[in-house]
Amino acid sequence: MLFRRIYQFLIVYSIGLISLLLIKTALSLSDYVIPGFGLILETFQEVFDTYFLDAMNTMSVTVLGQCVSIALAFGVGIAGRRSSWMGSFIKVTAYNIQAYPIVALAPIIFILLGDGFISRLLIASMICYFPLLLSVLGIMATPVEDIEHFYIITGRMRWQLEVKIRAFENLSKLTTVISGSATLAMAGTIVAEFIAANAGIGYSIRVALYQSDLAKILIALFLIGIIISIYQGCLETLGEQIKTRWSVSKGGNPR
Amino acid sequence: MLFRRIYQFLIVYSIGLISLLLIKTALSLSDYVIPGFGLILETFQEVFDTYFLDAMNTMSVTVLGQCVSIALAFGVGIAGRRSSWMGSFIKVTAYNIQAYPIVALAPIIFILLGDGFISRLLIASMICYFPLLLSVLGIMATPVEDIEHFYIITGRMRWQLEVKIRAFENLSKLTTVISGSATLAMAGTIVAEFIAANAGIGYSIRVALYQSDLAKILIALFLIGIIISIYQGCLETLGEQIKTRWSVSKGGNPR
Amino acid sequence: EIELNYRLKWLFNTSVAGDIYADAKGYFSEAGLKVHVREGSPEKNAINELELGHADFGVASADQVIRALDKGAKIRVLAQLFQVNPMQWIYRADQPRIKTLDDLRGRNIGITFGGNDETVMNTLFAKAGITSKDVKITGVRFDFTPFFKREVDVWPVYFNSQGVILKDRLEKEGERVYFFNPADFGVNFVANSVISSEKVWKNRPEVVKKFMDALLKGWEAAMDPANEADVLMEVKKQDKESNDELRRLQLIATRELIKPSAGVKIGTMDVEAWKQTEAIMLNEKQIKKPVHVESVLKQ
Amino acid sequence: MHLECKNLNFTYPENDVPVIQNLSFLIKNPGFNAVFGPSGVGKTSLAKLIAKMDTHFTGTIVTQDMDIILYSYNQERLPGWSGTGSHLDKVTPEGKHPLKDQLIDIFELKPILRSRFSKLSMGQQNRINLVRYLLQDFDLLIMDESLANVDEKLRETIILSIKDLFADKMFLYISHNLMEVSSFCREILVFGKPSGNKTCSIIQGRDYIKGYAPDKQSLDRTMLEIMNAV
Amino acid sequence: MHLECKNLNFTYPENDVPVIQNLSFLIKNPGFNAVFGPSGVGKTSLAKLIAKMDTHFTGTIVTQDMDIILYSYNQERLPGWSGTGSHLDKVTPEGKHPLKDQLIDIFELKPILRSRFSKLSMGQQNRINLVRYLLQDFDLLIMDESLANVDEKLRETIILSIKDLFADKMFLYISHNLMEVSSFCREILVFGKPSGNKTCSIIQGRDYIKGYAPDKQSLDRTMLEIMNAV
Ligand SMILES: Nc1ncnc2c1ncn2[C@@H]1O[C@H](COP(=O)(O)OP(=O)(O)OP(=O)(O)O)[C@@H](O)[C@H]1O
Ligand SMILES: Nc1ncnc2c1ncn2[C@@H]1O[C@H](COP(=O)(O)OP(=O)(O)OP(=O)(O)O)[C@@H](O)[C@H]1O
Ligand SMILES: [Mg+2]
Ligand SMILES: [Mg+2]
């Protein structure tokens, strides 16, 4: 699983790189528009060490940001699952904030929270949490009547139980979304670093952009890709284990 | 539904604005850091016309971008739903591209496509499609065995039918995600405009940001919020209608 | 030891060599100060931070200062770092040299909409009677592809950072470049300056004095060609991204802007340029009323 | 304790034809009663009205002295995150654990307490589901084909034990098994064929209890009576 | 046409005890046959093995001259996007539309063809599901409690008609109704109680066909025989 992810990523990346180089050759673009392979390799040796550390730094925020956004998504999703006024109000709030691109909110965030670690984490989580929220909302708002009936009619239903039932019944959907959202957490962290930070691979990308150095950007993309593949591979393996542990072969199976 | 969304948005926005003004008063900040109410009103009159047109411009790209990303998400989701090598390869590709923050990919996109309408649309769809993809993948990868059994054992199963069955069984989840993703399409369009375009509300935000003009940003946020509320209200109403039309009160209901 | 926060306008690179050097060489600590020098970005604004108390000193461009004054911010300008605005335009040498403003006609000119360069270029246009029909304007972003691909002829850059990089990059491909500097045509738009809030200025004059003395000492030392190797080493510690040769070229370019000649004291206020900057902004309707910026300049 | 319907009428919102039309009946006293009738006649619909799961009817339903009315049906599922035994434990009220163990014995559930619900056979699922309802406090329990997938022998044991253990409760047993209904139920609410003149009548069942000696003749008579009422 | 199992053994991956142990039997010729036995004994498991839905068994299953084996069960659902009638239309092979109409009549489905599946009563759902299987091309159809929620009268009509219409096919009918199985089935594969000495035997049913005159005594004998085999 994990190894498959990694070599599949390598294939994807190579295809991308080769296409770029082909375009370069076809249009005979100079090295400053699209860097040649030699230049990329050279740059790779030059910046690998720094970029690798930067990427690991980003990774640590990513993991934390993802945890925060999972918590956030479940919090909002659970609070907003009812079709009551309050539920819909929470949803409207969550949706609206999301519609505001982070670049527009960033100044306000910096005014309110300063530009430390917290802002970076907040921005990363905000980017990551919304897609999670959508799935969680969808799942939490759909009753599983043939399981819930008993608890409702005997007056035992509590919101915790309701959430547990619906989450469990949709475990494979949830693990798909959660492990998938790792990439969003990564992207979010990078964007946060891009506009806020003083560290991380996002910061390095900003500097490289400022220098219009595509070779460096390509190397950053490579590192991001490989790290996210590993992280996601791990998450998926974990997800599989949780699923088999909880043994979810559910309802539909002909008995 | 629609009206509820609008006045709920107005409440959210007012709360946000009042908090900002309270902070301003509490810390006695100047109009430069947080504009006073008078200044906001004045700016409102000044820029409303332009901003409104900009926002409508953005909106048109949003709608198109959302359509593209729905098509994309279903395309990739359906192609990647199997746990075969190809399915997982498609997923890896889709995930990796997503992990790259758009700010890092943008230069490559601009090199390849120029910075016209197409780039703007592509960036908007890329930001919007991934969350959709996650949900679609989750749904498409989960069999509905008690419905599918018949088609499988009689050899009638085609992928179109499989997709139709799974989509239908998860209709309410899908409509939640699709109508929710409208906000992402909007955010995506704005980001695209922010980094690429010379039109749209995202462009106006960038200009306001360069000028540190928070009043203008607040007005832009207001317009974005109100428009997205209306759009989403419409989508939800549509979703409800589709659901009742297709009459989805499913399985669980005690019979 | 007094702790202070100092917010720069942009990322660490050679164009803030003096700020880095003052810190690294212990000029601040000699003055009994512990200064946290922090990077900036468009989203992080020194003036906001001064008001919110997150920073004690900062770097802001003149247009930011004037805009803030227009909106009632209470700030003081302590030193004007750039004697020449680094905001210039680059163009290839295989194109006709821009000797007069009229030579701009017919060119495809890059402008960052909403940015300073737009204000400056509009002023130049007004001066030369150029209308939008006479030139082609292209909005620019942070990447230079349109310029590389010759879709845009005249491209806005910061002379001492991106300008150096671009020049180097193009020269590697055998192309030479020129810079178009608005100051050569009578438009003096002030760039980065050191600022503090009026509160700090009034209540802690001794801190202001100590800070400014140390900072300017740092800048003087950093701009001294004798220290070049040392300065470059200190900058490299903060800015790992560009290569040594580029940094050296950037430092030379920065020197031209900060200390155009040996006689100029670093930090000198060009009051006329400030007034012109305000006039331009008023003319461009970027501020609503005159703010008399000269009244907040430390003389 | 009595259950009474007066002029009950009920139509599903999206349908035109009423499912229940002018239904009136009275069942008095605790006991094991049945609802019987052809498929699609409205048994489940009536049960849900009685259990107050739907209130869009006209007419009256009197459930005197019965506070807790439970409705159970054979397609319910238990959550899958732990074995069925631990689910049973969790929903067993204070003090009813001895009863639980007794029921597990009667329902022959011991070997499957550690399995997940989804891994059970249909009859096993039926039984575990019914047991958890019996452990609740209730006055009236409606069992909508709750034992449909259990074999007849075990079903008989279960029904007789329920009658024995819960003599003071009222039950409504919905089943398609004529013999079973006739033998073990006290009062049987028989729905007529929907195409017919659609009346409903109450017929006395044999109401056998544990250790009964079957009286073939009277049982046949009851069965015939029911068949005629359908 | 014959169905034969030889030394069949099957264990679910996560279990230790085998569900099917050393099972051997032979059913020859077309006809309406049954699988009967207590709940949880392994009827469904066997059916799925025969239908090739699981292949992790040891021993052999011979399904000679039977190419198409279908397995249907009573908890299947039809997709919800259109009425049941139009679903039926869609899955009816070329040329079988007259058969479809005939089955709809027999199964009394006419009034519900325009309803969505989820709005049907349990018995209605059972019937519509079974009809679509009968319309397919098949050699062996396994009906796993497929009529469990249908009333006995209609069930009888349905079974008799199936025997009449599909005389050249083989059926395996899994049901808990002793009387029904004894009356209408040809060969009955009876599983013994799992706790007992767990053998399995084949018993000849009465195999009544349309217009039969019940012979009470021999029926009772068959029933007794089956009861003893369980
Ligand atoms: N949710 C619903 N919406 C519309 N019609 C319904 C709904 N549920 C049931 N019906 C219809 O109402 C009638 C009675 O259904 P009900 O489920 O009460 O029958 P039943 O007597 O329980 O039958 P069975 O023995 O087959 O379970 C049926 O014709 C059915 O199609
Ligand atoms: N997927 C599964 N995984 C593990 N064990 C299972 C699974 N399905 C069934 N079993 C177990 O195998 C045994 C036989 O189950 P099966 O469903 O074949 O019984 P059955 O004879 O059909 O019973 P019923 O009449 O109740 O439907 C049961 O004890 C059951 O708990
Ligand atoms: Mg029913
Ligand atoms: Mg079974």
pLDDT in tens, C82-129: 999 999 999 999 999 999 999 999 999 998 887 888 889 999 999 889
What's the number of domains chain B is made of?
1
Give distance in angstroms: CA of B169 to centre of ligand 3.
23
pLDDT band for position A250 (cuts 50, 70, 90): very low
Give distance in angstroms: CA of B160 to centre of ligand 1.
31
**Cα dihedral D43/D47/D53/D54 (nearest 10):** 50
- Structural domain includes residue D217: yes
Strand partners, C158: C87
- Structural domain includes residue D6: yes
Q: Minimal CA–CA distance to D10: which of D47, D63, D65?
A: D47
The structure tokens listed for D52 are: 């107050």
B-D interface: how many C-beta pairs under 8 angstroms? 12
For residue E19 and ligand 2, the question of a CB distance below 6 A is answered with: yes
CA distance D44 to chain E (A): 8
Q: Which domain holds residue D209?
A: 2-73+138-229
Residues 126-145 of C with CB under 8 A from B: 139, 141-143, 145
Q: Minimal CA–CA distance to E182: which of E218, E155, E140, E151?
A: E218
pLDDT surpassing 70 at residue E38: yes
**What ipTM is given for this predicted complex?**
0.83
pLDDT band for position E15 (cuts 50, 70, 90): confident
Do residues B23 and A112 touch, judged by C-beta distance below 8 A?
A: yes
Residue nearest to atom 31 of ligand 1 (CA): E120
pLDDT in tens, A187-204: 888 888 877 666 788 888
**Is the backbone of residue C150 left (phi > 0), alpha (psi -120 to 50) or beta?**
left
* B–D contact: 3+ Cβ pairs < 8 A: yes
Looking at residue B166, which CATH number applies to its domain?
A: 1.10.3720.10
Average pLDDT, chain D: 92
Looking at residue E31, which CATH number applies to its domain?
A: 3.40.50.300
CA-CA distance, C191 to C181, in Å (whole number)?
Answer: 13
The predicted structure's pLDDT at residue B248: 44
**Cα dihedral A41/A47/A50/A56 (nearest 10):** -40
Name the closest ligand to CA E48: 2
Does B254 contact D at CB distance below 8 Å? yes
CA distance E17 to chain D (A): 11
- Structural domain includes residue B157: yes
- Structural domain includes residue A192: yes
Measured between alpha carbons, how far is residue E128 from residues C43, D38, D121, E84 in Å? 65, 15, 23, 8
The predicted structure's pLDDT at residue B148: 95
* C–D contact: 3+ Cβ pairs < 8 A: no
pLDDT in tens, E194-215: 666 657 889 999 999 998 888 8
Q: Minimal CA–CA distance to B140: which of B119, B122, B161?
A: B161
CA-CA distance, D25 to D63, in Å (whole number)?
Answer: 12
Identify residue D211 by its one-letter amino acid code. G
The structure tokens listed for C156 are: 């806005």
- Structural domain includes residue E188: yes
Query: What residue ranges of chain D have pLDDT lower than 50?
Result: none
Higher-pLDDT residue of D230, A140: A140
Q: Which domain holds residue B181?
A: 42-249
Q: Minimal CA–CA distance to C260: which of C63, C85, C83, C56?
A: C83
Give distance in angstroms: CA of D121 to centre of ligand 2.
4
- Structural domain includes residue E102: no
Residue nearest to atom 25 of ligand 2 (CA): E39
The predicted structure's pLDDT at residue A197: 61
Identify residue D84 by its one-letter amino acid code. T
Ligand 1 site: residues with CB under 6 angstroms? B 255; D 12, 14-15, 19, 39-45; E 112, 115, 119-124, 149
CA geometry: angle at D5 spanning D148 and D165, to 5°?
45
Query: What residue ranges of chain B have pLDDT lower than 50?
Result: 248-255
Higher-pLDDT residue of D163, A89: D163
β-bridge pairing C155-158 and D20-28: unpaired
User: If DSSP codes are grouped into helix, strand and coil, which group holds residue A79?
Assistant: helix
- Structural domain includes residue A136: yes
- Neighbours of A, requiring at least 3 CB pairs below 8 Å, are B, C, D, E
Average pLDDT, chain C: 89
**Which of A99-108, C133-142, E34-43 is modeled with the greatest confidence?**
E34-43
What's the number of domains chain D is made of?
1
- Structural domain includes residue A30: no
pTM, entire model: 0.84
Strand partners, C3: C34
Q: Do A212 and C162 make contact, defined as CB atoms within 8 angstroms?
A: yes
The predicted structure's pLDDT at residue E196: 60
- Structural domain includes residue D114: no
CA distance C99 to chain B (A): 30
- Structural domain includes residue D118: no
The predicted structure's pLDDT at residue A246: 66
pLDDT surpassing 60 at residue A254: no
Higher-pLDDT residue of A225, E101: E101
Q: Do B147 and E125 make contact, defined as CB atoms within 8 angstroms?
A: no
